[in-house]
Amino acid sequence: MYRAIRRSGWFDPDNPSRVKAEAFMRRRPKTRPDGTLDPGDDDGLSVFDSFHVDPAACLQSGKSGYGVASLHVGTLRDLGLRVVRDDTDQRKLLIVDLPLENPNDAVQERLLDAVADTARIVCRRKWQEPR
């Protein structure tokens, strides 16, 4: 599966072949300025199924991006994580047990580091949606 790298800071500046743990933290739900709810990654961290989406399409799936990392479902399951199909988009999978942003818990931080250690950078290039 593929994870779009949306922020340049998600790449480890000390190791160009490594993605930082922050790339795998789920966003917390929040209230938007207009009062509506942004569910964040309440249902799990969204990743692309590599059987349905190639790295270029993954990178171009958002308004901008900096690269794509690959993850292996079996390796994540070995870490105790569950990976399920996203019912709203069949091109995507959800990693449901990952910690939310800034967990402040040593066990959860070690889990995020372990996920980051298994990720492999597929491509690293800046992309921005044409205006």
Has residue 8 got a pLDDT over 80? yes
Closest CA to 24 of 70, 65, 63, 62: 70
Residue 22 confidence class, pLDDT cut points 50, 70, 90? very high
* Mean pLDDT calculated for residue range 100-129: 94
pLDDT of residue 40: 86
Percent residues over pLDDT 90 in the chain: 85
Has residue 62 got a pLDDT over 90? no
Q: How far apart are CA 86 and CA 54, in angstroms?
A: 17
Residue 100 DSSP one-character state: B
Beta bridge mates, 5: 67
Q: What is the pTM of this model?
A: 0.90
CB distance 124 to 11 below 8 Å: yes
